[in-house]
């Protein structure tokens, strides 16, 4: 991995650790309202300042990172799991099954993923963390499935598959025992590539009020709730916005490095 990728990896590790241990690191309760500290600019007591309810922005950014990154990571693994299974069935079984699955994949990939995620989120009556995960995963699996399908086409006639068929292994055993281990590394690399986009998608859905609901802090909801104060108290939007930008950029850099290392054409 090149130098830029290593730097991005170090930054992501730092952000991840700060988010995981936010309960111990945060100087204040992220939901604690302090009417004596409303809209304070950054200073020694509040390094990132306070919001319109006197809540410490640094604490909310740390806690928000734990929620935002967790949603992105879990959604990536759900997408990978669905995409692996669907891509394996499509590539190995072929025929009408492959035609039908490919049509669904092409249909999903033909639309902007964010718009589809918004549409899925609206279907659920109660917005929240699980709604965002389902919305992202229900759209994201298609790109995993397409990549896995293409890889299965290249290995379905490999000697180890033909040997398994020759000794009487059924299709399900071949798919889940012999082919999944060959496709899992590709799925993990793809998940790394997609994480940056999932962070942005989660932030966008939270910004629109379709994600975690107040007072639970997420980076997107913090930008949304404090957007009205961007001209007079810019720190209220600046720090959660920087957290989104830096995290997404680092994930994208790592994803590009992984793509180049393994020669994936995505």
Query: Tens digits of per-residue pLDDT, 209-252?
Result: 888 887 788 899 899 888 888 888 999 999 999 999 999 999 98
In this prediction, residue 234 carries a pLDDT of: 92
The answer, yes or no, to whether residue 76 has pLDDT greater than 90, is: yes
- Residues 41-68: b if buried by 16+ CB within 10 A, e if exposed: eeeeebebbbbeebbbbbbbbbbbbbbb
The answer, yes or no, to whether residue 192 has pLDDT greater than 90, is: no
In this prediction, residue 1 carries a pLDDT of: 59
Judge contact between 174 and 161, C-beta under 8 A: yes
% pLDDT > 70, the chain: 98
* pTM for the model: 0.88
Domain 3-25+45-262 has CATH 1.10.3720.10: yes
In the structure, what pLDDT confidence band is assigned to residue 44 with cuts at 50, 70 and 90? confident
Residues 71-83 have a mean pLDDT of 93
In this prediction, residue 199 carries a pLDDT of: 92
Question: Phi, psi (5° rounding) for residue 215?
Answer: -85, 5
What does the domain layout of the chain look like in residue ranges? 3-25+45-262
pLDDT tens for residues 89-145? 999 988 899 999 999 999 999 988 888 888 888 888 778 888 899 999 999 999 999
Lowest mean pLDDT among 3-7, 62-66, 81-85, 115-119: 3-7
In the structure, what pLDDT confidence band is assigned to residue 259 with cuts at 50, 70 and 90? confident
The answer, yes or no, to whether residue 260 has pLDDT greater than 70, is: yes
Mean residue pLDDT of the chain comes to 88
In this prediction, residue 266 carries a pLDDT of: 61
In whole angstroms, what is the distance from residue 5 CA to residue 256 CA? Answer: 8
In this prediction, residue 229 carries a pLDDT of: 87
Instruction: Give DSSP secondary structure letters for the chain.
Output: --HHHHHHHHHHHHHHHHHHTHHHH-SS-TT---GGGTTPPS-SSSTT-B-TT--BHHHHHHHHHHHHHHHHHHHHHHHHHHHHHHHHHHHHH-HHHHHHHHHHHHHHHTS-HHHHHHHHHHHSSS-SHHHHHHHHHHHHHHHHHHHHHHHHHHHTTSHHHHHHHHTT--HHHIIIIIIHHHHHHHHHHHHHHHHHHHHHHHHHHHHTT-SSPTTS--HHHHHHHTGGGTTT-THHHHHHHHHHHHHHHHHHHHHHHHHHHHT---
In this prediction, residue 121 carries a pLDDT of: 87
Residues 76-83 have a mean pLDDT of 94
In whole angstroms, what is the distance from residue 26 CA to residue 251 CA? Answer: 24
């Amino acid at each position: 991995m090149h130098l830029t990728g290593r730097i991005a990896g170090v930054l992501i590790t730092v952000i991840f650790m700060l988010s995981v241990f936010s309960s111990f690191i945060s100087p204040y309760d992220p939901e604690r309202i302090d009417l004596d500290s409303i809209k304070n600019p950054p200073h020694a007591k509040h390094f990132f300042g306070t919001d319109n309810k006197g809540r410490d922005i640094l604490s909310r950014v740390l806690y928000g990172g734990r929620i935002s990154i967790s949603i992105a990571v879990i959604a990536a693994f759900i997408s990978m799991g669905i995409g692996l299974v669907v891509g394996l069935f499509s590539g190995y079984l072929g025929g009408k099954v492959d035609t039908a699955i490919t049509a669904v994949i092409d249909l999903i990939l033909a639309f902007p993923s964010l718009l589809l995620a918004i549409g899925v989120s609206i279907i659920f009556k109660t917005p929240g963390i699980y709604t965002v995960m389902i919305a992202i995963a229900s759209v994201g699996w298609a790109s995993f499935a397409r990549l896995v399908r293409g890889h299965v086409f290249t290995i379905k006639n490999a000697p180890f598959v033909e040997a398994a068929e020759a000794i009487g292994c059924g299709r399900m055993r071949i798919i889940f025992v012999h082919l999944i281990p060959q496709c899992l590394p590709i799925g993990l690399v793809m998940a790394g590539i997609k994480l940056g986009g999932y962070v942005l998608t989660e932030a966008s859905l939270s910004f629109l009020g379709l994600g975690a609901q107040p007072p639970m802090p997420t980076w997107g909801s913090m930008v949304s709730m404090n957007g009205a104060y961007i001209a007079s108290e810019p720190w209220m939007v600046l720090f959660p916005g920087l957290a989104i930008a830096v995290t997404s950029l680092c994930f994208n850099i790592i994803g590009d490095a992984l793509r180049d290392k393994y020669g994936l054409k995505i």
